[in-house]
Every structure is written in C-alpha cells, then in structure tokens.
C-alpha cells in the first residue's frame, strides 16, 4: 500500500483539537472522512502533533496509506474538495517510504504563538491571537525565556493531565520578536523542540507575559522552573494564539517546496 505524507493547515476554532475523540469533531476525524470518501477502506491517519482545541496549524503533518497509487497533486485536490466547508486544507502531499511515520519519525516540532497588545479589540485577528490591553517589556520577556532553554525537568510547565512518561525535555529555541501590527504591537514567540509536554508552550507564554507586564521578574521564571511544581507556573494562556507551523524530519518529504 503506498504511503503519503500530508501537510495540513487548519483553523482550530471549530474543532475539539487534532485527535479523534467522542463528541465534537476533530481535525483528524474530518481528514479521515475525506480519505474514506476516496477509498472507503482507508484506515486512521497519524499526525505529528496532537494540538488542543482552538489551536491552529499551518504545518501539521500526517501520513496515510492508500489502496491505489495517487498522483500527489490529485490526492491533495480530491481531499480538499471533500474537506469543504471545514477550515482545513491539504497544502501539500508527498509519496514517502513505508517506514515513514508522521509522529515517530519527527526530529522536531516548531510552534508560533501570537500575542497582540492593543487597547482596542482585535477585529480581523479575532480568534487568531491572544490579545492583552497593556504594554509589554520585550527585553524582560527575553531574559526570562533564557532560563527555559536547554534540557530541564519541566514539571512546572506541564499540565496535570499530561500523559508523557517523563517531564524532562530539551527546549532548543524560544525567541521573541516584536513588530507593529494594526495600531498595536504583536509579539511572536518562536518555539522549537523535539517534543513537548501537554500545555507546555501555553504555560511558557502565559508565564512570560507576566514578566513582560512587570508582575514577575525574569529570574522568577528560573525559580518557578526549579520548583518543579505546577502551582509555581504563571497563568496558562488561551489556545487561539498558538500555531503548529512545522515539523522536521531526517528526510523532509516536502523539501524544495514552499512552507
């Protein structure tokens, strides 16, 4: 059976997250139903990241096994036809080896978090950014972020329902950029690691926002990390500013194509 990698973009607002579950629709469920419209025998797909309810993606990756040989472009087009009117798009498809696994073959996941500072309510970006009304000190947030880089026990920044076997992870990147946006300031958090704990990114950003607002000192982030206690974490920010923007593999199935 030929195997395909799918690069998937979606607006997370209407969904209960990536993973199929009982109850509200998930992104995985919608993609699987589109695949079954093409080949009724098609099985479950596997995604690289199990994004939560409300979290978006511009570079989620999943793999699927098909019965017949599909031209990758035609498979993308057929799936997008069946995905209407859901806010989900297959932006690229590639043939991969049988041992490729969207989740277990991944070397890294890359996330973007958009934090928007403006007194007036967001309109065009509503549901796509986390908005605060106060100003933020980006240099203080950058100083606080430095304490999180590297290999640590991230128990403090881990959801109480996290199912990971160990809280020890290596954070490779947490960069923050500032840019004027729509009469306010947008702060973009670029975060990269091989894997993440449940709510880890949102816990980071919520804590660093408190640093930027002046409620925490940058060194308080180090203290919270060393506590290894969920109660020491800052507030967990809402999901709608978070995006899964890319997944890295030893051999990128989409290499040479636009992100």
Domain spans of the chain, in order of start: 3-105, 108-245
Which pLDDT tens digit goes with each residue over 34-76? 999 999 998 899 999 999 999 999 999 999 999 999 999 999 9
Which DSSP string corresponds to 58-101?
A: EEEEEEEE-SS---HHHHHHHHHHHHTTSSEEEEEEEEE-TT--
**The predicted structure's pLDDT at residue 97:** 96
* Residue 52 appears among annotated catalytic residues: yes
> With 0-12 CB in 10 A as exposed, 13-18 as middle and 19+ as buried, what is 215?
exposed
pLDDT of residue 255: 85
Query: What are 80-126's pLDDT values in tens digits?
Result: 999 999 999 999 999 999 999 999 999 999 999 999 999 999 999 99
Query: For the residues of 137-168, what is the DSSP string, one character each?
Result: -HHHHHHHHHTTSEEEE-GGGS-TT---S-SE
HSE-CB for 77 with a 13 A CA cutoff: 5
> Which of the two residues, 1 and 17, has the higher pLDDT score?
17
CATH of domain 3-105: 3.30.70.580
pTM value > 0.75: yes
Tell me the two tokens of residue 228.
Answer: 């290894």
Q: Is 108-245 in the same CATH topology as 3-105?
A: yes
Q: Which of 52, 71, 98, 125 is catalytic?
A: 52
d(CA 122, CA 152): 36
Cα–Cα dist 225/167, whole Å: 12
**Domain 108-245 architecture:** 2-Layer Sandwich (3.30)
155-171 pLDDT tens trace: 999 999 998 999 999 99
- pLDDT tens for each residue of 160-214: 999 899 999 999 999 999 999 999 999 999 999 999 999 999 999 999 999 999 9
Question: What pLDDT sits at residue 257?
Answer: 57
């Amino acid at each position: 059976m030929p195997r395909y990698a799918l690069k998937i973009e979606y607006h997370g607002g209407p969904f209960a997250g990536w993973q199929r579950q009982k109850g509200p629709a998930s992104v995985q469920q919608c993609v699987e139903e589109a695949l079954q419209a093409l080949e009724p025998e098609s099985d479950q797909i596997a995604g690289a990241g199990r994004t939560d309810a409300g979290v978006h993606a511009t570079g989620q990756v999943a793999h699927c096994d098909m019965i017949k040989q599909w031209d990758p472009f035609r498979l993308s087009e057929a799936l997008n036809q069946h995905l209407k009117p859901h806010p989900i798009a297959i932006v690229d498809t590639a043939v991969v080896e049988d041992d490729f696994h969207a989740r277990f073959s991944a070397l890294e996941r890359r996330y973007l978090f958009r934090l928007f500072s403006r007194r007036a309510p967001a309109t065009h970006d509503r549901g796509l950014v986390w908005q605060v009304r106060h100003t933020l000190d980006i240099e203080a947030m950058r100083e606080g972020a430095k304490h999180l880089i590297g290999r640590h026990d991230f128990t403090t920044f881990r959801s109480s329902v996290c199912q990971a076997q160990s809280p020890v992870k290596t954070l490779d990147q947490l960069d923050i950029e500032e840019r004027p946006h729509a009469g306010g300031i947008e702060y973009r958090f670029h975060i990269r690691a091989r894997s993440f704990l449940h709510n880890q990114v949102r816990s980071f950003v919520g804590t660093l926002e408190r640093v930027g607002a002046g409620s925490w000192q940058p060194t308080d982030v180090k203290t919270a990390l060393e506590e290894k206690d969920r109660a020491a974490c800052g507030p967990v920010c809402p999901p709608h500013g978070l995006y899964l923007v890319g997944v890295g593999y030893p051999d990128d199935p989409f290499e040479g194509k636009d992100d």
